[in-house]
A and B are shown apart, each in its own frame.
Chain A
Amino acid sequence: MTESQLQKLLGSADPDPGCDHSGELMDAYCELVARGEPLPDRFAEFVTHIANCTACREDTEGLLAALREQEESGTG
Chain B
Amino acid sequence: MNTVALDRESAEWLRDLQGNGGAREHAIARLHALLLRVARGEAARRRATLPDRALEDVDDLCVQAASDALMAVLAKLDTYRGAARFTTWACKFAILETSTRLRRHAWRQQKVELDDTIWNRLPDAAPPALQRLENDQLIDALHRAVDDHLTERQRLIFQSVTMDDVPIDVLAERLGTSRGAIYKTLHDARGKLRQALIEAGHGGRVS
Instruction: Tell me the bound Cα distance from A24 to B2 in angstroms.
Output: 12
User: Is B83's beta carbon under 8 Å from chain A?
Assistant: yes
Q: How large is the interface on A (under 10, 10 to 19, 20 to 34, 35 or more residues)?
A: 35 or more
* Chain B, Cβ-Cβ closest to A76: B87
User: Is B24's beta carbon under 8 Å from chain A?
Assistant: no
* Residues of B within 8 A of A (CB-CB), count: 50
* Chain A, Cβ-Cβ closest to B37: A75
B103 contacts across to A, CB distance below 8 A: 55
- Which one of B14-22, B50-58, B149-157, B160-168 is at the interface? B160-168
With known contacts A1-B138, A69-B41, A63–B183 Cβ distance under 8 A: no
User: Is B101's beta carbon under 8 Å from chain A?
Assistant: no
- A59 and B95: CB pair below 8 A? yes
Picked from A6, A10, A53, A62, the residue with its CB within 8 Å of the CB of B95 is: A62
Picked from B85, B99, B162, the residue with its CB within 8 Å of the CB of A55 is: B99
Map CB proximity to A onto B184-204 as digits: 1 under 8 Å, 0 otherwise.
101100110110010000000
Picked from A5, A6, A27, A66, the residue with its CB within 8 Å of the CB of B41 is: A66
Which residues of A pack against B, CB within 8 Å?
1-2, 5-6, 8-11, 13, 16, 18-20, 23-28, 30-31, 52-55, 58-59, 62-63, 65-67, 69-70, 75-76
Q: List 9 A-B contacts (CB under 8 A).
A: A1-B139, A26-B92, A27-B92, A55-B99, A55-B179, A63-B95, A66-B94, A67-B91, A75-B34
